[in-house]
Amino acid sequence: MSRVFTHMTMSLDGFIADPDDGIEDLFDWYAAGDVAVPSANKDISLNVDEASAGVLRDLTTNVGALISGRRLFDITDGWGDNHPVGAPVVVVTHQPPTDAERWPRTTFVGDVSTAVARAREIADGTDVTIASANVAQQALKLGLVDEVCVSLVPVLLGEGIPYFANLGAHQLLEDPEVVQGRRALHLRYPVRR
């Protein structure tokens, strides 16, 4: 059975972007090494240290579907219908774009529960990853996440878009798996059931 996990790069003070959606200072680790990690999107490749390369491979190799919120989808222009993990995308939105046919590998659904169910169908036994903070927060609150992954970077943004906010529920996690990378500390927390 597939696992549903969320992964974000997060500042030490808990933000995944600055107030203007800027992420530049958060992603130094994507260019902090000599190990090339190709992506399914030819325009995006990463050069990380060996430890981070192992983490990235583990987080992307078995992904059969990715869930995104509409805001991130719009910011990235739907990744040109080719997200770097190479998987079809399920977007949570109350208003699909009028030109949705531009993204034939993208499915638009109205709520998080439906998104997770649809992504599991698409993934067909492989993993589902959630790539939007708000969607991850809702999925955690609904008990639909198996693992929370954080690449914690040595940056203090002071303000911005939080990875975890307004969960509305107390959530216990198991002890983390910890991998020290260059410019990132990778943490993986199974969700306690």
Total number of domains constituting the chain: 1
As a three-state string, the secondary structure of the chain is CCCEEEEEEEECCCEEECCCCCCHHHCHHHHCCCEEEECCCCCCEEEECHHHHHHHHHHHCCEEEEEEEHHHHHHCHHHHHCCCCCCCEEEECCCCCCCHHHCCCEEEECCHHHHHHHHHHHHCCCEEEECCHHHHHHHHHCCCCCEEEEEEECCCCCCCEECCCCCCCCCCECCCEEEEECCEEEEEEEECC
* CATH number reported for the structural domain that contains residue 119 in this entry: 3.40.430.10
pTM over 0.75, yes/no: yes
Residue span of the structural domain in which 23 resides: 4-190
pLDDT tens sequence across 15-61: 999 999 999 899 999 999 999 998 888 878 899 999 999 999 999 99
pLDDT tens sequence across 60-81: 999 999 999 999 999 999 998 9
